[in-house]
């Protein structure tokens, strides 16, 4: 993270960057996917905080040496927290999405929530938590670790001049491309679990567990729609990182990624 001062002010700025990055992109591309937006807002500050906690435990030198482990732990912990808090909203959102054609659910969250509770009970709000963790934890770890690694590779193998010799526009273009490539990887590793989350809320599979659903749809069924999701997630991820870094640099923080680049080539 370079020379950033990691205090409450920085966490607040990171959170605001997450709000802008995820709020704008999800509003533009997937209006109903509000939970993913809120999820990313949560991780905007908690991932940064978890990175600092990890660094404080193992020390600066070890944190740099084992930075990929640190990125994985930090982003994974942030995702567990976010998913646990937001699982009820996720399951209501999925119900609203899959019920649009037959208008089975109201189009606003609170009436849809009340309808779900009446039909399924409050305990069902967390029935998709295991596959949600399976989808989102893998997604988030890959999102942060691969993004960091891709940025490092770009600045060490392709754009080899010191980072500060590239314009802000060039640096943000590298951010976007790195985010897009990371998004492709995110889509691939999380798609099977994403399919399960959706299937568990379809009437055809209501009440069935993961193994039972898998026996019905098979391995190929887990990958239906992957091409479309790669385009969506790649674009979303690239734009999110671009907006996030645009905001961070605008408020005086260093851009994301490339933590192992030398001081003369650091963010």
Q: What is the pTM of this model?
A: 0.69
Residue 90, C-beta contacts closer than 8 angstroms, at least 6 positions apart: 35, 83, 128, 132, 197
Query: What mean pLDDT do residues 239-251 have?
Result: 86
CA distance 171 to 241: 12
Q: How many CB atoms lie within 10 A of CB 108?
A: 9
Q: Which residue has the tokens 């996917």?
A: 33
Write the pLDDT tens digit of every residue in 25-64.
555 554 434 444 344 345 444 555 566 666 677 677 776 7
The answer to whether 139 and 232 are in contact (CB under 8 A) is no
Token code pair at residue 49 = 């905080």
CA distance 198 to 165: 46
Residue 14, C-beta contacts closer than 8 angstroms, at least 6 positions apart: 44, 45, 48, 248, 253
Structural domains in the chain?
8-260 (1.50.40.10)
Residue count of the chain, please give it.
267
What is the per-residue pLDDT for 34? 41
pLDDT at 239 over 80: yes
Q: How many CB atoms lie within 10 A of CB 109?
A: 14
């Amino acid at each position: 993270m370079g020379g950033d001062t990691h205090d409450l002010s920085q966490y607040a700025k990171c959170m605001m960057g997450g709000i802008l990055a995820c709020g704008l992109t999800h509003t533009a591309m997937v209006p109903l996917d509000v939970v993913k937006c809120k999820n990313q807002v949560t991780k905007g500050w908690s991932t940064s905080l978890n990175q600092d906690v990890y660094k404080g435990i193992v020390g600066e030198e070890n944190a740099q040496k084992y930075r990929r482990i640190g990125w994985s732990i930090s982003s994974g912990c942030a995702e567990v927290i976010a998913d646990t808090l937001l699982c009820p909203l996720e399951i209501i959102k999925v119900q609203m999405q899959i019920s649009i054609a037959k208008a089975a659910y109201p189009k606003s969250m609170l009436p849809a929530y009340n309808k779900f509770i009446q039909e399924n009970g409050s305990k069902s709000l967390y029935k998709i938590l295991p596959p949600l963790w399976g989808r989102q934890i893998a997604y988030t770890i890959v999102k942060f670790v691969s993004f960091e690694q891709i940025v490092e590779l770009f600045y060490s193998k392709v754009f080899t001049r010191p980072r500060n010799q590239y314009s802000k526009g060039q640096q943000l273009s590298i951010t976007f491309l790195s985010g897009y490539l990371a998004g492709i990887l995110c889509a691939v590793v999380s798609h099977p679990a994403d399919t399960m989350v959706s299937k568990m809320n379809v009437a055809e599979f209501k009440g069935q567990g993961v193994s039972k659903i898998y026996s019905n749809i098979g391995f190929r069924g887990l990958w239906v729609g992957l091409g479309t999701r790669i385009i969506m997630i790649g674009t979303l991820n690239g734009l999110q990182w671009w907006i996030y870094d645009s905001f961070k640099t605008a408020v005086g923080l260093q851009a994301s990624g490339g933590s192992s680049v030398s001081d003369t080539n650091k963010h």
